[in-house]
Amino acid sequence: MRGDQNGETTVTLKNGKIGIAVSIKFNIKQLPYITQWKMMGNGEYVLGIEPCNALCKSRKTLREENTLPILLPGESITNILEIIVSDITG
């Protein structure tokens, strides 16, 4: 992911057929990765876009790679996301 000088970035999904776009604005210093997933069922299609703090791998693999984010007891973090729904028909 690329961000501006402050780490801010935006991902956008557009659906021209129904005329909307959904954007997610977040900071790559907090959430450096993005996961895209989809489910295609009979007559259904679901797409997920998720900013995240770890690659889409098993916890076991992330532990082995020493990349699994862990919060210690009493520790907390704050991640800020902005979700924007736009009309793209006009």
Q: Is residue 2 part of a domain?
A: no
Q: Is residue 19 part of a domain?
A: yes
Q: Helices (H) and strands (E) in the chain — how many of each?
A: 1, 5
User: For the chain, what is the domain count?
Assistant: 1
Give pLDDT < 50 ranges for the chain.
none
pTM score of the predicted model? 0.81
What integer pLDDT is reported at residue 42 of this predicted model? 85
What integer pLDDT is reported at residue 48 of this predicted model? 87
Residue 88: both structure tokens together = 């793209």
Q: Is residue 69 part of a domain?
A: yes
What integer pLDDT is reported at residue 47 of this predicted model? 86
